[in-house]
Amino acid sequence: MSKQYEIPVGAQHISLLEPLHFKFTTENEKIISTAANVYYVHRGIEQACCSKFKFRQVSFVVGRVCGLCSISHTTAYSQVAEKLLNLEIPRRAKYLRMLVIELDRIHSHLLCLIHVSENAGFEALFMKTMQYREFSMELLEAICGNRIQYDFSIVGGVARDLKLPVAHEVVGRLKRFKPELDELMDIFMHNWTLSLKNKGSGKITRETAMRLNVVGPFARAAGLAIDVRNETEDLLPWKEVGFEMITGEDGDVHARNIVRLKEIYVSINIIENIINGLPESELVTETKAFPDGEAVVRLEAPRGELFYYAKGNKTQVLERLKIKAPTFSNIAGMVEGFTGNEYGSVPAIIASYDPCLSCTAR
C-alpha cells in the first residue's frame, strides 16, 4: 500500500464558491475516499417562517433561501400554500410562473458552466460565457423589476404582468442569443483543453445515481431520467409548453455540461411557446381563508427537485415548513463522485455538481 494523505478542501478555498468542506483521502494523486461537511450557513429560515412571519409574507422570505433559484422557492412555497388554502390560481399566472422559472434556469445553467470553465482553468471561456449570460439577467430584471430577488410569485398568483414591449424584447433577445449558445455548445463539445479536465472525471453511473437518489442535471447526465417537469401536470402544465427530457450517458463533467446546454435550448423553446400562447386572465385569486391541513409540493429547480412540506393550523402563522433543496439530495452522490479521480480535477468536479449550500443549509 502506498502512502495515504488527507487533504482538506474548504470551507474557504479559492476554487469554492460555497462554504462546504471536503476531506479527501488520497493515494498519491488518486482520491480513494471523501468525507463531506456541508453546513456552515444555517440561518434558521424554516423557524422564522413558522414563528415570525405571516403565511403571505413567507413567500418573500423563502425567496431569500437562494439567490440563484429564488423564483423556484417562491413558486414552490406559493403552490404549497395554495394547496393548504384550496385555491386554484388563474391560468395566466401559471404560464407567467413557468416563463420566469425557465429564464431563471437559463441564467443558472450558464452560471454553472461559467464556474466549470473557470475551475478547469479556462478563463477566456469563463468571461465569454459571463458576457452571454448577461442578457438573461436583464430580461429577468425587465420582467420582474428586480435583478436577483424576483419576488414574482405570491400566494394566489403572480405579482406583476408581462407587458407587451417586454414580451417582444424577450423574444428578440432570445433570437439573438441562439447563435451565441450554438457557439458555446461547440466549444464545450469539442474544445480539447477543456476535455482534459472534463471528460471522464467525476463520473457516476446510472445505478449509483439511482441508489443514492440523485436529482437534477447531475442525475440526468448519468442517464437517470428524473425531472419533476415531466411528472406533475396539475400545478404547472409543462408538457403543454413543450418540455422535453434531456439525458446524457457518461455521467461525467462533460456529460453534465452538455445536458445543461441542451436544457437551455429546451428552456428557450418553452419560453417562446409561452409568449406565443399566453392566455388572458386575472393575475391573482384572492381569498380570505387561512391555511389548514398539510401538503407537499415538488418542483424542478435548476439544480433538481425542490420539495416543500407545509402544515397549517388555521392561523396566520404556519405550524411547520420544511424545505428540501436539490443539493441536499445530491450530497451522497457528490461524495461518491470523487472516488478514483485525480486530486487536480476536484475544482472542476465540484463546480459541475453545481452545489448550492445556502439552499441546503437554509
Contact between 260 and 112 (Cβ < 8 Å):
yes
Between residues 24 and 307, which has the closer beta carbon with respect to another protein?
A: 307
CB of 28: closest distance to another protein in angstroms? Answer: 28
CB of 1: closest distance to another protein in angstroms? Answer: 27
Which residues, 6+ apart, have CB-to-CB distance to 295 below 8 Å? 80, 83, 84, 309, 310
Alpha carbons 253 and 258: distance in angstroms, whole number? 9
CB of 342: closest distance to another protein in angstroms? Answer: 25
CB of 197: closest distance to another protein in angstroms? Answer: 19
Between residues 94 and 229, which has the closer beta carbon with respect to another protein?
A: 229
Contact between 140 and 110 (Cβ < 8 Å):
no
CB of 220: closest distance to another protein in angstroms? Answer: 13
Within a 13 Å sphere around the CA of 76, how many CA atoms are in the beta-carbon half? 33
CB of 6: closest distance to another protein in angstroms? Answer: 19
CB of 2: closest distance to another protein in angstroms? Answer: 29
Which residues, 6+ apart, have CB-to-CB distance to 200 below 8 Å? 250, 252, 254
**Contact residues: another protein, CB under 8 A:** 37-39, 42, 44, 46-47, 51, 53, 56-57, 60-61, 131, 134, 138, 141-142, 144-146, 149, 151, 154, 159-160, 163, 166, 210-215, 226, 228, 230-232, 234, 294, 296, 298, 305, 307, 309, 311, 319-320, 322, 324, 328-329, 331-333, 361
Alpha carbons 255 and 248: distance in angstroms, whole number? 6
Between residues 144 and 264, which has the closer beta carbon with respect to another protein?
A: 144
CB of 148: closest distance to another protein in angstroms? Answer: 11
Which residues, 6+ apart, have CB-to-CB distance to 175 below 8 Å? none
Alpha carbons 180 and 168: distance in angstroms, whole number? 19
Between residues 42 and 168, which has the closer beta carbon with respect to another protein?
A: 42
Taking CA atoms, 95 is separated from 111, 264, 282, in Å, by: 24, 18, 12
Between residues 13 and 56, which has the closer beta carbon with respect to another protein?
A: 56
Between residues 28 and 146, which has the closer beta carbon with respect to another protein?
A: 146
CA dihedral angle for residue 263, residue 264, residue 268, residue 270, rounded to 10 degrees: 30
Alpha carbons 41 and 93: distance in angstroms, whole number? 33
Place of cell 441542451: 262
Between residues 11 and 15, which has the closer beta carbon with respect to another protein?
A: 11
Contact between 221 and 77 (Cβ < 8 Å):
no
Between residues 99 and 348, which has the closer beta carbon with respect to another protein?
A: 99
